Amino acid sequence: MKHGLVGAVTVALVLSASSAAAQMFGNPVYVMVGMGTGVNIAGDFGRGINDASGKGNYFGGRITLGLPFFYVTAGAGTYKPQGATNRQTEFGGNLGVNLLHLPLVPVKVSAQAGAGYVKAGTDKVLDIPVALGIGVSLPTPGVGITPWVAPRVQVHYETAGGVSSTKAHFGASGGVNVHFSMIGVHAAVDYLRIASGVSPLTFGVGASVGLTLPGI
């Protein structure tokens, strides 16, 4: 799963047991740049843009716990590529560290590593995206707007037909988070280069609710 669910995390799924296994992607890898303390509950919709993405729809949710120096996310979703008969369930999570998050500094920097997992029959896929997110909090009174970008390396492990393989790919995601007090909305796009001429593009939108926790 490439779906950072899970705030992140995006997942690749093996569609066949052959060595030329097709990949599908449903949701961008979200990096929680500027995540403060508290709990963020988000719902996501993702859509593949090009042929390499599978052009399917993703529906999922994730929950993030933000602590003073780091945050942790867990979530799940379902994805159905165009022309498929069944939806696949994906699970994932990530751990992020706030490298730069000061009240009077608009630039926010986070490092994030995640994992996503999906199983189709006897085929299994595990994706591990490692990203560096950079965001800027814009000076907009009454509303918080943070555009962000996050280049990443994504390790892809799959088992299909009894044969296992591990590969590393380059990817990047970027988007904007908008917060109105407790309520937020977000949008992002995602790129992953798997091979020459095979680079899935996905688009995602969603909404979230932020909650504060006593004592944090």
Q: What is the CATH number of the domain that holds 92?
A: 2.40.160.20
Query: What pLDDT score does 166 carry?
Result: 95
Amino acid at 99: L
Query: What pLDDT score does 1 carry?
Result: 47
Residues of the chain with pLDDT under 50: 1-24
Q: Residue 158: name the closest of 34, 22, 62 by CA.
A: 22
Q: How do residues 113-130 score in pLDDT, each as one tens digit?
A: 999 998 877 888 999 999
Instruction: Provide the number of structural domains found in the chain.
Output: 1
> How far is the C-alpha of 177 from the C-alpha of 122, rounded, in Å?
38
Whether residue 216 lies inside any domain: the answer is no
Whether residue 108 lies inside any domain: the answer is yes
Question: The domain containing residue 143 runs over which residues?
Answer: 2-211
Query: What pLDDT score does 160 carry?
Result: 85
Query: What pLDDT score does 81 carry?
Result: 83
Which two tokens mark 147? 């555009």
Query: What pLDDT score does 215 carry?
Result: 65
Distances (CA, A) of 101 to 43, 128, 139, 202: 25, 25, 16, 28
Query: What pLDDT score does 73 carry?
Result: 96
Query: What pLDDT score does 25 carry?
Result: 57
